[in-house]
Copies of this chain bind each other. A is one copy, B any other.
Amino acid sequence: MTATPLPGGRLAAEIKAQVAALAEDWRRSGRQAVLAVVVATADESTLWYVRSLVAAADKTGIDCRLVDLGATATEPEIARHLDDLSADPQVHGILLQTPLPPGIAAARLVERIVPSKDVDGANPSSLGRLLVGQQAFAPATARAVVELLDYHQIPLAGRHMAVVGRSAVVGKPLLHLLLHRDATVTICHSASKPLARFTRPADIVAVAVGRPGLITADHIAPDTVVVDVGTNVAEDGRLVGDVDPDTVAPVAAGLTPVPGGVGSVTTALLLLHTLDAARASFARDAVAIS
């Protein structure tokens, strides 16, 4: 048996088409959804990703404004830009791209992104609202895992899901999204030993650690569905996940590819969240005017 591939390309295209249709409607009536991306790094792979985001936004009719503060930006400088963007009625979504210059923690800065524009769910307030089940933008990567499983009709309610990785960007918010969907969730991390003890009994394993080849055939059972959230640049420049597809694909029931899996859906969801933020903003404007 070979794992059924669970690609994200078509789902991403469908989400983008939905975004593009509404953005086009808005444009005809003079309204424009705007996403601001704050960047403060010279890291080439980050800049490559940001340029691809700008291009994707452009294709869907969302104005993606790159606020490039350079690799020598200071914390007060970044903070001021986030405050300004939070207050700017023309901007609907704000993304603070990591990495930041050495010594500057994203954790403090993301609190300056007003929750209504926090399209990547980075502000602890957004995460707290997600935890209690109130309206909030989920981190796009975490939501992409759930959307991709839904798209491939893999049920979550009553299933046992192991999440490997406890970051505030993926693992923890994913855990809460899965709880809202009635999955039983085990969250594993570097102190979970042996890791296979926790991943083998699970129906679905989602891995978001950032270590190539972490998950091998030993970690999964024959009927496991595996979602690879890792995006690592290998020595030869290829993009690879946290799963070793050579050993896992022959055993697992399903496997999301890297690239072309969760990552492609993530970008599409960032644009969808920006659209949702713009829609809410336009609705508020309409109420204020009437």
Contacts and interface: CB of A to CB of B under 8 A. Distances in A.
Interface stretch (A9-17, A33-41, A144-152, A175-183): A175-183
Contact of A131 (B128, B179, B193): B128
Contacts of A133: 168
Interface in A115-163: 123-134, 157-158, 160
Interface stretch (A50-58, A87-95, A184-192): A184-192
Copies per assembly: 2
A146 to B, nearest CB: 16
Contact of A182 (B157, B182, B189, B198): B189
B132 A129 contact: no
A172 B129 CA distance: 12
B189 A186 contact: no
A201 interface: yes
Contacts of A179: 166, 172, 187, 189
A233 interface: no
A198 B184 contact: yes
Nearest to A156: B191
A181 to B, nearest CB: 9
Counting chain A residues whose Cβ lies within 8 A of the other chain, the interface size class is 35 or more
A107 interface: yes
A158 B193 CA distance: 7
A120 to B, nearest CB: 14
A118 to B, nearest CB: 11
A205 to B, nearest CB: 14
A45 to B, nearest CB: 25
Contacts of A188: 184
A111 to B, nearest CB: 9
A129 B131 contact: no
Contacts of A107: 132, 134
A89 to B, nearest CB: 24
Nearest to A173: B131
Contacts of A158: 191-193
27 contacts: A124-B128, A124-B131, A124-B132, A125-B125, A127-B127, A127-B131, A127-B132, A128-B128, A128-B130, A131-B168, A131-B172, A132-B168, A158-B192, A158-B193, A160-B198, A172-B176, A172-B179, A175-B187, A179-B187, A182-B191, A184-B187, A184-B191, A185-B186, A185-B187, A186-B186, A187-B187, A201-B201
